[in-house]
Amino acid sequence: MRIPTYLAIALLEASAVFAVPSWSSSEHLPLLSPRVAAGRASKRPNHPIAPKHPGRHFPASPPRTKTCYVKSNGNGKDDSAYVLKAIKDCNNGGHVVFERGKKYTVGTALDLTFLKHIDLDIQGTIQFSNDTDYWQKYAFKQVFQNATTFFQLGGTDVNVYGGGTLDGNGQVWYDLYAKDIYILRPILFGTIGLHGGKIEDINMRYSPQWYNLVANSTDVVFSNITISGASTNSNPAKNTDGWDTYRSSNIVIQNSHIDNGDDCVSFKPNSTDIVVQNLVCNGSHGISVGSLGQYIGEVDIVKNIYVYNISMSNASDGARIKVWPGISSALSGDLQGGGGSGAVSNITYDTMSIANVDYAIEITQCYGQKNLTLCNQFPSNLTISDVTIKKFTGTTSKKYDPLVGYLVCSSPKTCSNIKIEDVDVRSPTGKNGYQCGSIPGIETQVNCTKTG
């Protein structure tokens, strides 16, 4: 059973020190808190990229030489002008402080893609206003899946830290989405066109949709992030991915705790050279490659991905690769597509503990298409190759018992060199079956129930 949000938040607020546990649970979720006096700047964190590394160089970030403090109106009045002034005053070598104990309200879409050599020290709370009409009109429109963001942060050499909280005021959006699935819900944190930067020691709460979009960015590290914030009523917080990467490379996501209702991390089109490690994921849809191949005429490439040391609990999937078929289809009114092309290659999932997860491993090329016969008639235009999934342990949920995984491609010509090694995952009745189809050689690696 998934831990209720109110209990998860209470546990978050009770903890001050973060460590990645080896078990799958939402207990002891951290609330990161800077150990500095009010009015003082935080010391920049120094979280090493470890144990895995993408292999490419990350640029150094020199010390800052000036400090700017952000004013706050209080009483929920828009502080965006104060925020923008402090950032402009301290751009090119400064340190901007959102003071501990203060609450800042942002009710204006802020384009922060001009940043250079700047630290944003968020010790207090930044909450985005609940004016849904304004945000649907003025939130920044990104180029993928109708995504929008409250703000967009980009530029060169930007660090964000401080132990404070970003609050997306999500409940009003969850309620609105329950009435109209076509509304545009902003993403809480938009890393758009950032080249060299670290986002560390930050709490992210109640995002209307995805928590993080990393787009058109390079050389960015996320460390010590906590994500949580489900609905407080019967209207669910949907599509609340932890991270979605898009057209980005040399990205690290590590040492974080995610309690959400969709992908813990998702590698969207043209995500390359990425390491995800030391995460605790609860209530998610797994760590996913995709979805890919959604748009006709688009070529989606995802390659050189390493996922290491993940604790996955109360989720629909552990490791997941999801690709649309070669014909257009509709998964829902606001999510449809298929017919795009591309390739998934050199993907490794290494070490994952599973607890109450529906499928430990899922590979599908029929995402969004319920008619498998039609899907096989129009195989995916996107290939999957050189995938290694190893060192998985634990127990799945009872949903698909006796199956623990789903490994089905739309044609044996579109999938190759998929390896499942040292996986000891069982269903609640002790079985370890997989539904298999059109993946060459898979029958010699797992206990298959053949389909397609």
pLDDT above 60 (res 210) = yes
Other beta carbons less than 10 A from residue 74's beta carbon: 11
Mean predicted lDDT score pLDDT of the chain: 91
On the 0-12 / 13-18 / 19+ scale of CB atoms within 10 A, 67 is middle
Helix (H), strand (E) at residue 200? strand 189-205
| Residue 2 or residue 311, greater confidence | 311
Q: So what's the pLDDT on residue 21? A: 39
Instruction: Give the tens place of pLDDT for each residue, 296-320.
Output: 999 999 999 999 999 999 999 999 9
Mean pLDDT across 115-127: 98
Out of 150-154, 166-170, 241-245, 326-330, pick the least confident: 326-330
- What percentage of the chain has pLDDT greater than the value 70? 90
Instruction: Give the tens place of pLDDT for each residue, 224-283.
Output: 999 999 999 999 999 999 999 999 999 999 999 999 999 999 999 999 999 999 999 999
Q: So what's the pLDDT on residue 374? A: 78
pLDDT above 80 (res 221) = yes
Mean pLDDT across 117-126: 98
Predicted confidence band of residue 1 (pLDDT cuts 50, 70, 90) = very low
Mean pLDDT across 199-203: 98
The angle at the Cα of 236, spanning 234 to 240, to the nearest 5 degrees, equals: 165
What would the DSSP string read from start to end of 93-140? Answer: TEEEEE-TT-EEEE-S-EEEEEEEEEEEEE-SEEEE---HHHHHHHSE
Q: So what's the pLDDT on residue 393? A: 98
Cα–Cα distance for residue pair 302/323, rounded to 1 Å: 11
Out of 127-131, 191-195, 202-206, 335-339, pick the least confident: 335-339
Instruction: Give the tens place of pLDDT for each residue, 39-89.
Output: 699 999 999 999 999 999 999 999 999 999 999 999 999 999 999 999 999
Out of 23-27, 102-106, 266-270, 391-395, pick the least confident: 23-27
Cα–Cα distance for residue pair 92/99, rounded to 1 Å: 21
On the 0-12 / 13-18 / 19+ scale of CB atoms within 10 A, 372 is middle
Q: So what's the pLDDT on residue 15? A: 37
Q: What is the largest CA-CA distance in the chain?
A: 65
Sign of dihedral through CA atoms 168, 172, 175, 181?
A: negative
Q: So what's the pLDDT on residue 9? A: 42
Residue of 95, 117, 257, 285 marked catalytic = 285
Q: So what's the pLDDT on residue 370? A: 73
Are the CB atoms for 388 and 347 separated by under 8 Å?
yes
The angle at the Cα of 149, spanning 271 to 222, to the nearest 5 degrees, equals: 50
| Residue 446 or residue 22, greater confidence | 446
pLDDT above 70 (res 405) = yes
Shortest CA distance to 355 belongs to which of 5, 19, 25? 25
CA 99 to chain centre: 27
Instruction: Give the tens place of pLDDT for each residue, 409-420.
Output: 999 999 999 999
Instruction: Give the tens place of pLDDT for each residue, 320-372.
Output: 999 999 988 776 776 688 899 999 999 999 999 999 999 999 999 988 777 77
- Strand residues in 283-376 grouped as ranges (E): 287-292, 299-323, 329-332, 335-337, 341-364
What's the full length of the chain, in residues? 452
Mean pLDDT across 185-189: 98
Phi, psi of 135 (to 5 degrees): -65, -35
DSSP conformational letter for 78: B
Give the residue extent of every domain in the chain.
5-450
Shortest CA distance to 97 belongs to which of 139, 75, 64, 74? 64
Start-to-end CA distance of the chain, whole Å, equals 33
Q: Does the annotation mark 285 as catalytic?
A: yes
On the 0-12 / 13-18 / 19+ scale of CB atoms within 10 A, 314 is buried
For domain 5-450, the CATH class is mainly beta
- What percentage of the chain has pLDDT greater than the value 90? 83
